[in-house]
A and B are shown apart, each in its own frame.
Chain A
Amino acid sequence: MGWRAKQRLTSGTIHLFLILGSLVMITPFAWMVLTAFKSRSESISVNPFYIFPGNGWHFENFIEVWNSYNFLILYKNTLIMIFLRVLCACLTATLAGYAFGRLKFPFKKFFFALILVQMMVPGQIFIIPQYLIVSKLHMMNTQFALLLPGAVTAFGTYLCKQGYQSLPVSLEEAAELDGASITQRFLFIMLPLTRSSLVSLGIFTALFAYKDLMWPMIVCPKTQCTTLTAALSRLQGQFTSNYPQLMAGAVMAVIPMLILYLIFQKQFVEGIATSGGKL
C-alpha cells in the first residue's frame, strides 16, 4: 500500500469516528424537535419507522405550551435580564479593568486581591445573603432581583485588565503628548482596542445568565416573573408525561440561543473558551 493510500485510509477512519460522534451529539436535538411535532399518542407508540411525525406535524403543542406559560413574557424577562446583566458587567468591568491594567493608585494591590479572592470562592456561599438582601428590599419577583448577582463581575474585571495590559504603552504615551486626558485616552484609544475582551465577556455573561437555574427559582418563584430556564422546571411539573408538549417547551427555550450561536460562532467559542470551565 502506497503512502498516499495509507494516508487516505487513516483520514477516512478519523472522519468515520467524528461523524459517529457528531451523530451522538445531534440525536438528542433531533429527537427533541421531532417529538415536539408529534401527537401524544404517537410519541408513546414505539415504532422505528415513526421517527418523523406520521399523521401530520402537530404545531398545536407549541401553541398550547406558549399560551399556558405565556412564553412572550418569559422571553421578555429573559431578554431584559440578559441585557441588563451584560450592560452592567461590561460597563463596570471595563472601567475597573482599565484602572487595574493601566493606572497607578493607592491600595491597588489590596483592591486587586479582592477581585482575585472572589474568583476563587465557590458561588453558592453568596446565595443565602443575596436572597436575604432581595427579600429585605421587598424586591422578590422583579427584574432587579434577577439582575442583582450579576451587577458586577470580578472575573470580567480580570478579563478586561488582561486585555488592557496586552496593549502597548506607546499608544497612550503618544496621546498624552498630544494633551489627551486620562478619560479621553481611555474612551477614544484604549476602550475600542479591547473590543474583543468585551465581546467575550458579554457572551459569557449572557450565557451564564441564561443557563442559571437556582437563582431565578429562588427569587422569582412566580411564573410570570421568571426566566425561560426556571419556567422549564415548572413546565415539567405540569405536563409530567406529555412529552411532545415538554419538548415543544424545550425547543422554544433553546432556539434563540442556538440561532445566535450559529450566527456568531467564532465569538461564542472564544467567549466560552476564555471563561474556562466556569459555565
Chain B
Amino acid sequence: MKKKKMTAKARKEAVTGLLFITPTIIGLLILNYYPIFETVYQSLCRTGDFGIGNTFIGLENFVRLFQDKEVFRTLWNSVKYAALSLPLTIAISLVLAVLLNRKMHMRGLYRTIFFLPMVCAPAAVAMVWKWMFNQDYGLLNHIFHAKINWVTDPKIALIAIVIVGVWSSIGNNMILLLGGLQDIPRDYYEAASVDGSSGVHCFLHITIPLLSPMLFFIIQTGIMGALQLFDLPFMIMDESSRAWPSVKTITYLFYEYAFVKSERGYGAAIIMFLICIISILTYLLQKSEAKWVHYD
C-alpha cells in the first residue's frame, strides 16, 4: 500500500517535470537543434538563383572555401582583432579592478562610468566613434593635433576598431574581475606582508593564481566573442572605403554570402568553417587549463 503511494507521487513528479521542460525543449529543438543539421546540410548545397532551391553538391563549397583568399583574409582580420583587443582589455580591466578593490571615495561612481558602454547598442557606439575618428573634424585628431586617417588608412583601420572594442568591454571585464578579487581572503595578503613580500610579488603569486579561473573564463568567452565580431566594423567603415578589406571580419563575410548575395550554401560553409576553428581553439584552451588555472 505504502509503496504504491510512493510511485503515484513519483509519477506525478515525473509528469510535472516533463510538462515544465516541454516548452523549452520543443523551442530548442525547433530553433536550435534542427538549425544545426539544416546548416550542415545547406553547407553541402548550392543555392539556386534568387535564393530559391538547393542542389546537393557534396563538399564543393568547402573546396571553394579553401581556395578562397577572401575567407582567409577575413579570418585573419578576425584573429588579429582578437589577438589585439583581448590582451589589452584584460590588462586594463585588471588594473582597474585592482585599483577599485578597496574602500574609497567615489568607488560606485567610477564603476558606473566604466560600465556605461555595456548598456549602449554597439551600433550607436560605432556611430559616435566614427565621428570621433573623422579625419578633418573628428575630436581625436583635434585633441592630438594630428591628421590620422583612422578609418580610411588600411594600416590603421583595424587599430581604430580595436580601440572601440576595448573601450566597450573593459567595464564588463572589470566587474567580473572585481567579483573574483573580492573572493580572495584578506589574510593571504596579510600573511605575505608579514613575510616581507612586495606588492608586485603579492600580485604575481597571490592575486593572479587565485584569479585564474575568472581570467580563464574571460579569455574563453572573449575569444569566442572577438571571432564573431560583426557590428563594429560594419557600422564604422564604409564598404566603399579602401580600408574595408583590412577590417572585414569572417562573420561579416558569412552575413554577406548568406543574406546579401543569396548564396546560403556557401555562407553556411563559411560559418561551419569558423565554428570548427572556434572549437579547436576552445579545445586547446581547455587543455591548457590544467597548466595555469588553479581551483581551490
Contacts and interface: CB of A to CB of B under 8 A. Distances in A.
Interface string A1-32: 00000000001001101100110111111011
22 contacts: A25-B113, A35-B131, A95-B20, A103-B13, A105-B13, A105-B15, A120-B282, A121-B32, A122-B224, A122-B228, A124-B254, A127-B271, A128-B35, A182-B12, A211-B122, A229-B123, A233-B123, A233-B235, A250-B127, A254-B119, A258-B116, A272-B118
Main secondary structure of the interface of A (DSSP, over half): helix
Most buried by A among B21, B35, B175: B21
Most buried by A among B18, B35, B123, B235: B123
4 closest residue pairs by CB, A with B: A152-B27, A277-B221, A105-B17, A129-B35
B132 interface: yes
Interface of B: 10, 12-18, 20-21, 23-25, 27-36, 38-39, 42, 96, 99-100, 104-106, 109-125, 127-129, 131-132, 134, 136-137, 139, 142, 167, 169, 171-173, 175-176, 179, 217-218, 221-222, 224-225, 228, 230-231, 234-235, 251, 254-255, 258-259, 264, 267-268, 271-272, 274-275, 278, 282
A91 B231 CA distance: 30
A71 interface: no
A225 interface: no
Q: What is the size category of the interface that chain A forms with chain B?
A: 35 or more
Contacts of B228: 122-124
Contact of A98 (B20, B172, B225): B20
A118 interface: yes
Given A24-B167, A96-B21, A103-B13, 4 more contacts: A14-B104, A28-B132, A182-B13, A277-B221
Most buried by B among A31, A250, A262: A250
A149 B35 CA distance: 11
A104 B20 contact: no
Interface in A196-225: 207, 210-211, 213-214, 218
B119 A207 contact: yes
B242 to A, nearest CB: 17
B121 A232 contact: yes
A105 B16 CA distance: 8
B121 A125 contact: no
B182 to A, nearest CB: 12
Given A130-B31, A269-B115, A125 B136 contact: no
Nearest to B30: A133
Given A24-B167, A257-B120, A277-B225, A129 B39 contact: yes
A32 B128 contact: yes
Given A100-B21, A106-B18, A182-B13, A29 B116 contact: yes
Contacts of A152: 23-24, 27-28, 31
Nearest to B12: A182
A233 B254 contact: no
Interface string A80-93: 00000000000111
